[in-house]
Amino acid sequence: MVIQILGTGCPKCKALEANARQAIEAGGIEATIEKVTEIDRIMDMGV
């Protein structure tokens, strides 16, 4: 599973990443986290 975190690197984005990593570890889930910080890519995703 790939989890994408979309954001510019603000404190809320960093907290979301930390929470996601913690949840993955606690749940024993096999997943990777991809941070998407480029505005063009985020807009291409329809956000």
Q: Which residues are catalytic?
A: 10, 13
- Whose tokens are 């985020």? That residue is 42
- Structure token digits, residue 40: 């063009």
Which residue type occupies 26?
A
